[in-house]
Amino acid sequence: AALAASFRVAAEKLPKGNRRRRFWSDFFAGAPAKAIEAGDHAQAHGAALELLSADAPAEGHIALVGAGPGAEDLLTLRAHRLLMEADAIVYDALVPEAIVAMGRRDAERLPVGKRKGCHSKSQEEINALLIELGQAGKRVVRLKSGDPLVFGRAGEEMAALREAGIAYEVVPGVTAAFAAAADFELPLTLRGVSSSMVFTTGHDLKGNSLPDWAKLAISGATVAVYMGRSVAAEVAGRLIEAGLSPDTAVAVVENASLGSRRRFHGTLADLPSLEERADLTGPVMTIIGDAVAGANFERSEPLAAHRHEGAASAVAEGVQS
């Protein structure tokens, strides 16, 4: 506190706006703060003097930030702080505008698409954009839906930033599986029932061999299937074929964590009906396993109702003819 007070007058002489804001941000989160934590006040003073130099080049920094599953109040405090400090916000299509709007008012906002079946920019273009912004000395928040390390292609972006020598950090977010489980009051692990869980997209079921996650499902793991509506029938068919009971409990959530969420419950045998649901337009999370039976289904719709509804219509048409 004393060191900060001693530099307040000097900092006021810096140009207003980004330059002054960057000084204080670097002061409290950069080299001066680290030196103070280490007990080296002389080094902290020297580092602060370096920050005051107008000629000192700004160092770019990229934060790969998890925006959470959708609800604004599930954003972490660290994510919010970085958004308030950002010069640029690079965000995916599934990130709600309300969360993007939490960023600094004058921050540059750059949408890059990235949702299933619709990519406005390729991953290579996004990597290049992050490097360009970092090399320009910008503080960038790369905002991703859910957690950046869970099906967020953060690995490719981190590799590109490392190769380019750009500093970065990763800020975790609430992944959709956890939000969907909370919506159902569903224990993902349950003593004596399930002691492990699997995250998968279910898009690796081609061929004769069964993927490792499917083998784990058969052994009792709880399985969370991301982006799995279009492969629901294949997931159910392969798991049943491999030995998982058709009566295994299933929970499905569209728009997990949001007020617009819809919940469905049923069994593995009912799961293929998901592919017929043209009314489901938001992100869909499917959770499969014996632990799902411990969920609260009071506010959910039965998956089987849609399946039987289609069959009943067909019978009615036959009677009328």
> Which residue from 274, 254, 225, 99 is spatially nearest to 171, judged by alpha carbons?
99
Identify the DSSP state of 238: H
Residue 116 annotated among the catalytic residues of the structure: no
Residues with Cβ within 8 Å of residue 162, at least 6 apart in sequence: 168
Say if CB 63 and CB 29 are below 8 A apart.
no
Catalytic-role residue among 114, 144, 270, 290: 114
Say if CB 279 and CB 305 are below 8 A apart.
no
**SS3 helix, strand, coil % of the chain, rounded to 5?**
45, 20, 35
Backbone φ/ψ region at 70: left (φ over 0), alpha (ψ -120 to 50), beta: left
Residue 239: count other Cβ atoms within 10 Å of its Cβ.
23
> Which residue from 180, 265, 269 is spatially nearest to 233, judged by alpha carbons?
269
Catalytic-role residue among 92, 183, 270, 290: 92
Residue 279 annotated among the catalytic residues of the structure: no
The two tokens of residue 264 are: 């469905």
Question: Rounded to 5 degrees, what are φ and ψ at 247?
Answer: -90, 5
Residues recognised as catalytic: 92, 114
